[in-house]
Amino acid sequence: MTVIACAFDHRTRLLPFIGADLRMAPAGVRAVGAAMVDCGFPKTRVVLQQWTKNFRPSEMRLDGRIPDLFLVSSMLLHSTRSAEMVADACRIDPAQRPLVVVGGPKSVYEPWDSFRADISEPEGADVVVTGEEFVWLSLLEVLLTERGDGETMREVFLRVRDRGLLDGIPGLCYARTDQHGVALEIVDTGVQRLLGDLDELPSSVLGYRLLEAPGRRRTLAAQPLATNRVRKHSPISSLVLTFGCKFRCPYCPIPAYNQRQHRLKSPERIREEMMALYTEYGFRLYFGTDDNFFNDHARALAILQELERARLPNGKRLARRIRWGTEATVHDTLQMRDNMSSVSGGGLRAIWIGVEDLTASFVKKGQSVDKTTEAFRMLIRHNIHPMPMMMHHDGQPLYTRGKPYGLLNQVQILRDAGAVTFQVLMMTPSTGSVLYDEAFTKGIMYRSVNGHEVGPHQLDANFVVASEEPRSWRKQLNLMVAYMFFYNPLRLLKAIVFPKSRLYLADVICQGLGMYGLLHTFRRTVPWMWNLWRGPIVRCTEPPTSRVPIGSPDGGRADHALDAQRDTVAAGE
């Protein structure tokens, strides 16, 4: 029996993520659950901490028993909650304790952080998966093959670990420990081998059957969330369509993570999944978890045309019953100008566009004021919402007279071009990116502000935690002013009379949701702005690294040691 938990820190609930964070069940944990069921392990439950805030792993039971496996998936900004769940699971009596496995984006770049490095710390994970679900299945296959009669999964793991039987599975990290569970050495088996053909992934339908129902329980319900209640709690279905991006932005780890590949599902598989999700759960809203959907124009067009032709069993067109959105760039959106009828005909109704910087003075991805305006107006003509994603950076003022460089100048240009939503984040280097190491060694990243340590939940770029500006509180203020400039009662009134979109009330709804999100954003970021103003600001001098020696199985340099990651990214490997 298996429990898979998605860690979630409710302190991250602010713009631009508020709303979707609770109303869209994450694709990652659902994919792992679906893989388990697809391999013949139906007794699997997926717990979303955003729905079950009080969940305690030490009290979890499935069919009255403590599960054999406990898996935790976490992003970096939710890692505090992930560590708490792991520590709580380790409170279970060792004779009954499940094998504790940690994975997710946090583990890809900082796997060492999940192990116990000191006797004074809570116990950590048994093993960390630094890859996707097929890495986990390879580990599970070894464990089941070697399992003896009466052995728990954790007991067999410890035995095969000590025999070196895990060293041939790329994408794992495990610790050699002392009698107290303190890591003496971390073994890194290397970078995962990526799944190239995404059609081999199990159906997304399976993962939704495993969801724990929302509630205040500390333990698990007797049954997973009923099928007819899934859409009520998760009205938006996240769906993997493609992975990868052709651009190599120095602040982004996505191309290196995908090993410079563009991976995707076939048009036929995407059609089948959308039809199955619509038929079984009634999903009408979908979000494609793409890095850049238009990255390969021909393949994107093939997907859209397949969805345009798709018919439900009752003969009605699928594209008329569903609406979906995804992510793309200005450059690649314009490359689709001759095929916009198929883009719209395939049911695509929203594109989150990585504009970043309209003037391309900081980020260059083929965008400019004229090109962005052209792309937005082209989308509006075809009833597709442009959803700009912006970055605020050191050196960019709030406003510039007569030039489109200021943040508010760019917000107004995007609004005039037809944007119905808007997001702006502070430029903050991501783990695994080229700029990450430099941000620490140059003292750009903050360690503490006004005596308050910078927490993982503040690393989502909503909080100013990296800046060379002497008065960085102004940057935090700029973010808030930009949101107020876009979302406000005057624009709401104007949206009612002169909506930016021909789609019914879309502009009005987005304005209302944006103002609601502003309340939560102010509540969490205004105190941080006060801390930035008061100071002092203590800056980092070196990037986070493992406190425990980490190496490959043969004693060489580990691929997931931070310096090795940076070399890989810089070389474009």
Q: How confident is the model over 348-379, as pLDDT tens digits?
A: 999 999 998 888 777 777 788 999 999 999 99
Q: What DSSP character marks residue 40? A: T
Give the pLDDT confidence of 121-131 residue by residue, as tens digits: 888 999 999 99
**pLDDT attached to residue 279:** 94
How would you label 524-561 residue by residue, b for 16+ Cβ within 10 Å and e otherwise?
Answer: bbeebbebbeeeebebbeebeebebebebeeeeebbbb
Query: What length does the chain have?
Result: 573
d(CA 374, CA 24): 31
**pLDDT attached to residue 277:** 96
Share above pLDDT 90 across residues of the chain, in percent, rounded to a whole number: 74
DSSP string spanning 187-212?
EE--PPPPPSBGGGSPPHHHHHTTBP
Contacts of 394 (CB under 8 A, 6+ apart): 427, 467, 468, 469, 475
Residue type, 570: A
d(CA 201, CA 535): 49
d(CA 41, CA 31): 14
d(CA 19, CA 320): 25
Neighbours of 43 (CB within 10 A): 15
Residue type, 25: A
Whether the CB-CB separation of 324 and 270 falls below 8 Å is answered with: no
Q: Element (H or E) spanning 399, and its range?
A: none
- The pTM (predicted TM-score) of the whole model is 0.92
SS3 175: strand
Burial of residue 353, with CB atoms counted within 10 A of its CB: 0-12 exposed, 13-18 middle, 19 or more buried:
buried
- Residue 385 β-bridge partners: 350
Task: Please identify every stretch of the chain with a pLDDT value under 70, giving residue numbers as ranges.
Answer: 500-504, 562-573
Whether the CB-CB separation of 71 and 5 falls below 8 Å is answered with: yes
As given in the structure block, the two tokens for residue 504 are: 């019914």
What φ, ψ does residue 405 adopt, rounded to 5°? -85, -35
Give the pLDDT confidence of 271-304 residue by residue, as tens digits: 999 999 999 999 999 999 998 999 999 999 999 9
Helix runs in 466-539, H state only: 473-486, 489-497, 506-534
Q: Which residue has the tokens 């003509």?
A: 381
Cα 245 to the chain's mean position, in Å? 16
As given in the structure block, the two tokens for residue 379 are: 């989308």
